[in-house]
Structure 1
Amino acid sequence: MRILHVLDHGLPLQSGYTFRTRAILKSQMRRGWEVAAVTGPRHGAIGTALERVDGIDFHRTAPVKPLPAPFGEVREIAAFARRIDAAVAAFKPDLLHAHSPVLDALAALKVARRHKLPLLYEIRAFWEDAAVGNGTGTEGSLKYRATRALETWAVGKADAVAVICDGLRGDLVARGVPTDKIMVSPNGVDLTLFGTPLAYDAALGHALGLDGAEVIGFIGSFYDYEGLDDLIAAMPALVAERPAAHLVLVGGGPMEAALRAQATASPVADHIKFVGRVPHTEVDRYYSLIDILAYPRKRMRLTDLVTPLKPLEAMAQRRLVAASDVGGHRELIRDGDTGTLFPPDDPAGVVRALAGLLGDRGSWEARRDRGRAFVEAERSWSVNVARYAPVYQMLTRGDASVEPWSHAPIVHT
């Protein structure tokens, strides 16, 4: 099986998008499939047209001159399609596997039809909802509705569709997409890369002033929808109940300046620490310091539909998880079992949940065991990658008689 993955961006850039991509491609390679990838103009400046990173071959598309929408997007799609076409000629894949956003699917669709290749389109989030979450779009606007219509059209033209969670699947079904055209490929953790928790890093903890602290942490990107302002707002009341409580924020993003200003103005500013961005190879050192990973996402369409990756990483690292009760978190966390859910958009609810966990240390080890077991059994990429097998086989064989595979059993190898 030879699969060409069509991507918005890829390694060596670091993001949740590239980490999921790496996990998929490396797991497929371990399965014996031959894979390559082609990244789009939005990847940014390129050194060479073909680059090998971490054992994966990436065909690069040069950036294009920006133009006002929609002319810029049309130019991007055309340039990307030309590069995908060249990659197809060089790699000779059996199928194309395009990953969101929808621009990638549109570029891949042109090439797939030209070469009579099947196309699987994988959606990690709807582009219009991601724009709202990132603060660059408005729900219900003309642009939002046009993007949604384009996404629906692309899904209709693809030969099969993958989504990362049941929330996205349900939304597509409500749009009229046949159930048996959609597979769920959930977020997961590559346990070969991120599966062995480190012992507590005492030197790092001392350097951050965390000796003897009860540590709440967040590791990820600082977008408004992550609700980190609610977490910072909860700290004065939490420290009043748990004087040893400290908050450690690792990462960066659009909300960083506002969050730093909020923390500086807090009466417990000395209990809130910003680490900044760290290399992914160093992230496990920070996980080792944190007792509870907190994910206070705000309630909105994006967070109700889409499952994040970070809570799974935390469970794999045997950390406790507390998260807001939104749809994306409910697909990952069983309240009171593998984690704790609290009301979204509610700093007082954050305090109750975190104080309760910090005061119930006797339950920690069993919760850590259950969280880790959940990842190993249901969200490890060594398990998840097998979900693609029946879909790929159906597409490459053109066998419409294959049993519906939207909930196909996982094939263990």
Structure 2
Amino acid sequence: MHQGAVWMLTWEYPPRVMGGLGRHVADLSEALVAQGIPVHVFTCHVPGSPDKEVVNGVIVHRLHVHGRSLQEDFLGWVWQFNFALLDAILDEVGIEMPAVIHAHDWLVAMAARESQRLLHIPLVTTIHATEHGRQRGIHNDLQSYIHGVELELVSITDKLIACSEYMTREISSLFGISPAEIAIIPNGVDSKKVLSSLGDSLSIQSFVADDDEMIFYIGRLFSEKGVQVLLQAFPTILARRPKARLVIAGKGPMEKELCQWVQSSNLEQRVTFTGFIEDEQRNALLKRADVAVFPSLYEPFGIVALEAMAASVPVVASDTGGLGEIIRNGENGLKVAPNNDGQLAEAIVQVLENPQLAQRMVLKSQEELRSIYDWNKIAIDTMDVYGKAIEEAEEVRKGLLAKAQRVG
């Protein structure tokens, strides 16, 4: 089992959390530290956060990215971020050398590739999602470029990790990698982070009334997350459950369009958009929710579903991607066909009408959080992947040395 230092490369890390990736890297890093593995995380600067600090044992380097902003020049920002990553890595190598570089998704690919090449250190990569999956195809030059970067990253990495069988099949199909070469290690959830600061109910008073039946969505407001399907289902739900209140937490490019749809449908009195919320408000809303709904059209895993389970909230989700693997219909949640507002409405009403079913599913999901989605188990499985990468790199090194000696 691997024991050397791990250097994580990621574009997001708390308090910068855009989706599930940032939380994944943070929880995995802290779980590795708990197993005695030194971990450095290299990520981008967050205003108000120190450039370097130790967070729960993890050494976090937050790097300033020069040039135009992410919003002004996306690819230019990505390149500058990778230059900053590589500079920081090379500076840190003067102090200590890692045993493994662990890259997370394509945005750190250039720095990962150059670190592997210059330092002769094994590279492990977790592919959290693909551009083809997010966009449901490749439709323009930018998407084609990102797809190409993903292909190169997958081809050079020493060991590859995916979070679900669904993602393993997707990576294999898109990039020509044998499924046998991909380690499947699920995301996890730290229940203590969801439960330890459940939040003051005063912080959510403006979002939900005491007698509302609260339906909760949390996530980015992108089309692949299926929020529009949930909104289309809501009038049917409201006709059967007049006290239903839909609370939508998160930000994204669809926010304006979704708000306009709610207004044109005269649903403003029963639908609340919270915008971005901090963890304390998220926890308070989870504590208050009667059902959590994740209607994704594309979902490699779905950490938010695990967070809802950790808060003892019954879950309704689309039968797609990793979500379809987490949820077993009628046992630990309800799942419906993606992009089907009729089925979605029926499943949500079923949970609201049947508290016994809801409680039974919650209890089962709690069991599985402890047995399958525990970060300590996930850390140990990840350490095994690191160990194999190191062993195989050492075998290659010995082979090259032996060949050189024979030639000499």
Does the pair score TM above 0.5?
A: yes
Partner of 1:37: 41
Unaligned runs of 5+ in 2: 396-408
Contact 2:214 2:246 in 1 (8 A): yes
User: Could you list the per-position Cα deviations for residues 218-248 of structure 1 after superposition, in whole angstroms to 9, with x for gaps in the alignment?
Assistant: 1222222222222222222211111121111
Partner of 1:173: 172
Q: CA deviation at 1:343?
A: 2.5
Alpha-carbon distance between aligned partners in 1 of 2:268 and 2:386, rounded to the nearest angstrom: 53
User: Could you list the per-position Cα deviations for residues 347-395 of structure 1 after superposition, in whole angstroms to 9, with x for gaps in the alignment?
Assistant: 2222211122222222221111011111111112122111112211122
Question: Which residue type is aligned with residue 214 of structure 1?
Answer: E
Alpha-carbon distance between aligned partners in 1 of 2:107 and 2:16, rounded to the nearest angstrom: 19
Question: Which residue type is aligned with residue 102 of structure 2?
Answer: H
Alpha-carbon distance between aligned partners in 2 of 1:76 and 1:161, rounded to the nearest angstrom: 23
Contact 2:131 2:138 in 1 (8 A): no
Partner of 2:17: 14
Partner of 1:406: none
Contact 1:97 1:120 in 2 (8 A): yes
Unaligned runs of 5+ in 1: 402-413
Q: Are residues 1:118 and 2:122 paired?
A: yes
Distance 1:47 1:22, change over 3 A: closer
Q: Aligned match of 2:6 in 3, 25, 30? A: 3
Contact 1:59 1:87 in 2 (8 A): no
Alpha-carbon distance between aligned partners in 1 of 2:375 and 2:127, rounded to the nearest angstrom: 17
Q: Are residues 1:109 and 2:113 paired?
A: yes
Q: Aligned match of 1:89 in 88, 94, 98? A: 94
Partner of 2:404: none
Alpha-carbon distance between aligned partners in 2 of 1:164 and 1:68, rounded to the nearest angstrom: 30
Partner of 1:410: none
SS of aligned partner of 1:319: coil
Q: CA deviation at 1:315?
A: 0.9
Partner of 1:231: 230
User: Could you list the per-position Cα deviations for residues 43-87 of structure 1 after superposition, in whole angstroms to 9, with x for gaps in the alignment?
Assistant: 566876533344422223321324968666555433432222222
Contact 1:38 1:87 in 2 (8 A): no
Alignment of 1:215-364 (within 5 A): 215-298=214-297, 303=298, 306-364=300-358
Q: CA deviation at 1:14?
A: 2.8
Distance 1:110 1:377, change over 3 A: same
Contact 2:167 2:321 in 1 (8 A): no
Distance 1:346 1:109, change over 3 A: same
CA RMSD for the aligned pairs?
2.7
Distance 1:312 1:114, change over 3 A: same
Distance 1:93 1:269, change over 3 A: same
* Percent of pairs with identical residues: 22
SS of aligned partner of 1:252: coil
Alpha-carbon distance between aligned partners in 2 of 1:186 and 1:263, rounded to the nearest angstrom: 35
Alpha-carbon distance between aligned partners in 2 of 1:389 and 1:57, rounded to the nearest angstrom: 18
Q: CA deviation at 1:316?
A: 1.1
Q: CA deviation at 1:92?
A: 2.0
Distance 1:50 1:185, change over 3 A: same
Paired residues, what number?
Answer: 387
Distance 1:206 1:283, change over 3 A: closer
User: Could you list the per-position Cα deviations for residues 2-43 of structure 1 after superposition, in whole angstroms to 9, with x for gaps in the alignment?
Assistant: 111111132332332221111001101111111111115xx5
Alpha-carbon distance between aligned partners in 2 of 1:243 and 1:68, rounded to the nearest angstrom: 46
Alpha-carbon distance between aligned partners in 1 of 2:88 and 2:330, rounded to the nearest angstrom: 49
Partner of 2:398: none
Partner of 1:397: 391
Alpha-carbon distance between aligned partners in 2 of 1:208 and 1:32, rounded to the nearest angstrom: 42
Contact 2:41 2:58 in 1 (8 A): yes
SS of aligned partner of 1:331: helix
Contact 1:20 1:187 in 2 (8 A): yes
Q: Aligned match of 2:379 in 385, 390, 396? A: 385
Contact 1:343 1:349 in 2 (8 A): yes
Alpha-carbon distance between aligned partners in 1 of 2:365 and 2:30, rounded to the nearest angstrom: 24
Question: Which residue type is aligned with residue 186 of structure 2?
Answer: P
SS of aligned partner of 2:189: coil
Alpha-carbon distance between aligned partners in 1 of 2:110 and 2:83, rounded to the nearest angstrom: 9
Q: Aligned match of 1:24 in 23, 28, 52? A: 28
Contact 1:220 1:310 in 2 (8 A): yes
SS of aligned partner of 2:338: coil
Contact 2:15 2:46 in 1 (8 A): no
Question: Which residue type is aligned with residue 273 of structure 2?
Answer: F
User: Could you list the per-position Cα deviations for residues 81-139 of structure 1 after superposition, in whole angstroms to 9, with x for gaps in the alignment?
Assistant: 22222223334211111111x24132122122212211111111124544x37xxxx72
Q: CA deviation at 1:253?
A: 2.3
User: Could you list the per-position Cα deviations for residues 136-171 of structure 1 after superposition, in whole angstroms to 9, with x for gaps in the alignment?
Assistant: xx7243443343233222212111111122122112
Partner of 1:186: 186
Question: Which residue type is aligned with residue 192 of structure 1?
Answer: K
SS of aligned partner of 1:12: coil
Distance 1:70 1:262, change over 3 A: closer
